[in-house]
Amino acid sequence: MTATSPNTIKIGSFEVSRPIAFTYLLTIFYNITFFLQFSATPYLVKQLQLSDADFGYIQTIFGVFQMIGGPLFGYVIQKFGIRYALHLCYFSTLLSGLSLYFSFDYYSLLLSRIPVVFMHGQQAHQTLLSALTTPGKERTSAFGRMGLTFGIGFIFVPIFSIAATKIGGDLAPLLVSAALCALPSIVLETCIERKSYEHEISQDDSNGPPPQINITNVVRILQKPGVLNVMAKKNGGVVPFLMIIAVLNLYIIEKFNATNTENQIMQMMMGVFIMFSNGFGVIWLRKKFDEQTLLIIGSLSFVVGYTLFTFVFFNFWMLLVIMPFVSLGMSVVATCSDSLLTALVDESEQGIVLGTATSLNSLVRTFSPLFAGSLLQNYGFQSLTILGVVGSLLAIGLMIMSPVDENLIKKHKTELSSVDAFSFSNCFFTGSGIFASSSRTFFGFSTIGRFLSLFFSIILNCSFETSGFAVTGSAIANGSCLSIFGSSGVFASLGGLGSCALIPGGVTSSS
């Protein structure tokens, strides 16, 4: 990595601005610290001789705290700025690592989960990156390279974990994670200037205040032409992948008697494939195809990967053949759909639509272990892969039959104000920006919805409209029955890679 000018850094054959390059570095550091804790926690649970049920409760508490922390972290960004919020995130991650290490029983382990309320680095980094780029090709490439940092983190986690374990035991990675949390704070303070992402705030404020973050505005934004269209296309192949990932470790242990070392190897393989598909595949393909064509290519890659899972996954090492296709599908579909979503809305609304799209994956992550485990037990692993083939083909059909109007996609460069770029207010999500997903839900019972609407309004100070829209469990209902997309108020995943606050999908039709 060399500096070619005061504001530009050359990484290999790529030249990127200094703030963007160091944003990538922040993401790498955070991913390493987060996943070091994630990988060491099961060994801590085993050492404390806790049951699987206790571990499940702890993971649920993790999700609850992150759900509560979503709007709180959004308020911190809105009130104090992204810089302060990132420092808070890094400090919370440090506290999490130390409190995990010093846990000595079930209740101390529960208390150690309190710092995760503010551990929302991935979405904060993605938002910072969106403030430093413009919609279209630049943002697609930037998001793709951010996926590269995710893969790099996946590669380094097993290396740090294995080295720390050999030196200090099974819990040593927790101390390493806490120590590494100092690095992103130092990089943030010394290498990223405020002026690089705070653009003429006073001038932007003259155009009027940013939109209020409430249910009405969220629904209005998601009803804009093309937004729900892109979300639906995105999740045809992504949702089955999240379900497969939820049970893949269990399956390979039972099917192939995989050891812990082989599990670490699988993680490194996934990291390498994600790194190359995001860092090189997406960027190379983006030079030759537009984003809507790339969505079709990504979904076709999903189809190939799921088909291989169905027919040739008879040996552990077949993952070397299968994972490149699935990783490319995930990288292309997730990156291009996120870029399209930010291009379909106004600058002041990008934080809302991006956060909503990202938060919807928590609905799948919350229930995927349950549904995937049930399908695995009753119908076999192939039932999940066939679901992936069908979902991807349906997404391709939608892409062909209902493409997004190119006139809706904004290509011009505009400046972002810090308020617009960081519109994480009362109801917002923070979590993983890589594996974003949503689901289709059908709800009625508007009376229950209005009750829940009032309940959540009191707790989170959200502007719900009980006369028109009403929250019903994990959706929004208008009147008696609607066909809708989305999730609201769902817990974070057992895997701990995502979280959400009360962010709905959007109304698609009423009856």
pLDDT on residue 94 = 96
Query: Is residue 5 classed as helix, strand or coil in its secondary structure?
Result: strand
Looking at the predicted structure, is the pLDDT value of residue 301 above 80? yes
Amino acid letter for position 161: S
Predicted local confidence at residue 174, as pLDDT: 93
Q: Tell me the C-alpha distance between 60 and 75, whole Å.
A: 23
- Ranked by mean pLDDT, the top range of 228-232, 391-395, 442-446 is 391-395
Confidence bin at 280 (pLDDT 50/70/90): confident
pLDDT at residue 407, rounded to an integer: 75
pLDDT in tens, 156-194: 888 888 888 888 888 899 999 999 999 999 998 888 887
Whether the per-residue pLDDT at 7 is higher than 50: the answer is yes
pLDDT number for residue 446: 34
Q: How confident is the model at residue 491 (pLDDT cuts 50, 70, 90)?
A: very low
pLDDT over 50 (residue 155): yes
Which range in 53-62, 263-272, 323-332, 436-445 is most confidently predicted, on average pLDDT? 323-332
pLDDT digits (tens, 9 = 90+) for 308-362: 999 999 888 898 899 899 989 988 888 888 778 877 877 666 666 666 666 676 6
* pLDDT recorded at residue 350: 64
- The tokens of 123 are what? 């979405």
What architecture does CATH give domain 2-199+215-408?
A: Up-down Bundle (1.20)
Q: What confidence tier does 260 reach under pLDDT thresholds 50, 70, 90?
A: low
**φ, ψ for residue 509 (rounded to 5)?**
-165, 150
The CA distance from 125 to 61, in Å, is: 24
The mean per-residue pLDDT over the stretch 287-300 comes to 88
State which H helix or E strand residue 443 sits in: strand 440-443
pLDDT exceeds 60 at position 489: no
Q: Is residue 484's pLDDT more than 60?
A: no
- Please list, in sequence order, all residues whose beta carbon lies within 8 angstroms of the beta carbon of residue 362, skipping any fewer than 6 positions away: 63, 67, 429, 431, 487, 490, 491, 492, 493, 498, 499, 500
What confidence tens digit (pLDDT) does each residue in 371-428 have? 787 888 889 899 999 999 999 999 999 999 988 877 776 543 343 333 333 333 333 3
Model confidence at 99, pLDDT cuts 50, 70, 90, reads very high
Q: What is the model's pLDDT at position 396? A: 93
Q: Are 365 and 242 in contact (CB under 8 A)?
A: yes
Buried-state track 422-441, b at ≥16 Cβ within 10 A, e below 16: bbbbbbbbbbbbbbbbbbeb
**pLDDT of res. 169:** 86
pLDDT above 50 for 471 = no
With a cut of 70, say whether residue 65 has pLDDT above it: yes
Q: How far is CA 55 from CA 254, 494, 505, in A?
A: 20, 10, 30
Question: Can you give the pLDDT at residue 165?
Answer: 85
**Which class for 125: exposed (0-12), middle (13-18), buried (19 or more C-beta within 10 A)?**
buried
What does the mean pLDDT of the chain come to? 71
| Burial group, residue 174, by CB count within 10 angstroms (0-12, 13-18, 19+) | buried
C-alpha to C-alpha distance for 163 and 177, rounded to whole angstroms: 13
- In angstroms, the CA 53 to CA 433 distance is 29
pLDDT of residue 363: 65
Average the pLDDT over each of 3-7, 249-253, 324-328 and give the range with the smallest value.
3-7
Q: What is the pLDDT of residue 140?
A: 66
Confidence of residue 501 (pLDDT cuts 50, 70, 90): very low
Which one has a higher pLDDT value, 72 or 190? Answer: 190
- 74, exposed or middle or buried, with CB in 10 Å at 0-12, 13-18, 19+? buried
Q: Identity (one letter) of the amino acid at 193?
A: E
Report the C-alpha gap between 133 and 140 in whole angstroms. Answer: 9
> What DSSP line would sit under 208-270, residue for residue?
-PPPP-SHHHHHHHHTSTTHHHHHHHHHHHHHHHHHHHHHHHHHHHHHH---HHHHHHHHHHH
Q: Which residues contact 169 (CB under 8 A, 6 or more apart)?
A: none
Domain ranges of the chain: 2-199+215-408, 426-510
Query: What is the side-by-side strand order in the sheet with 440-443?
Result: 440-443, 482-485, 506-510
